[in-house]
A = this chain, B = another copy of it.
Amino acid sequence: MSTAERLIETTRELLWERGYVGTSPKAIQQRAGAGQGSMYHHFSGKPDLALAAIRRSAEEMQAKAEQQFGGPGTALERITAYLRREREVLKGCPIGRLTQDPDVMADPELRRPVDETFAWLHGRFTALLTEARDQGELNAALDPASTASTVVAVLQGGYVLARAAGSDEPFHRAVEGVLGLLAGHATAPAPSHDR
């Protein structure tokens, strides 16, 4: 693994653990086992390195989500699979937490990957919920776009509640709660596609 690679990965970790304001170039260098000069050779400074780290985390989050979204099963089953997927709940969402970092939100370049990731996620959920509705898995009275925002918010808020409590429980309760609400809106067993 190259030095630049190690610097990016280390920055991703520290951004996740301590946020942008709480992460110093020095801390990155020490954990990555790189000197000052090395870091400034590969990156112009803290914002440049953070941009590389944030972009990679955003890509990773989308790729992981696509694993469940593009998997087998009905639309509602794929949504359920995504919501119930294993997560490092107490560490929080590596992208969502950047939202609370004033210096990240103040810089359009750093902010863009965050904005785009949630816009993508919302679009993906809206499409899946529309599919579920059209297949009769979900009540037609529900607005897919609003429900999509609700589902994404439950995950992000679940992380907040879990960290406040110092326990995974509130996160899982929130997820099961929204699944219960969605389940009650099923109108009929989903028809099989192939006949």
> Which A170-195 residues sit within 8 Å CB-CB of chain B?
170-171, 173-174, 176-178, 180-182, 184-185
Copies in the complex: 2
A155 at the binding interface (Cβ < 8 Å): yes
Say whether B18 contacts A142, CB under 8 Å: no
| Total residues of chain A contacting the partner, CB 8 A | 57
Q: Is the interface of A mostly helix, strand, loop or mixed?
A: helix
A92–B153 alpha-carbon span in the complex (Å):
13
Say whether B181 contacts A142, CB under 8 Å: yes
Nearest B residue (CB) for A146: B177
Chain A residues close to B by CB (< 8 Å): 17-19, 21-22, 92, 96-97, 99-103, 105, 111, 114-115, 117-119, 122, 139, 141-143, 145-158, 160-161, 163-166, 170-171, 173-174, 176-178, 180-182, 184-185
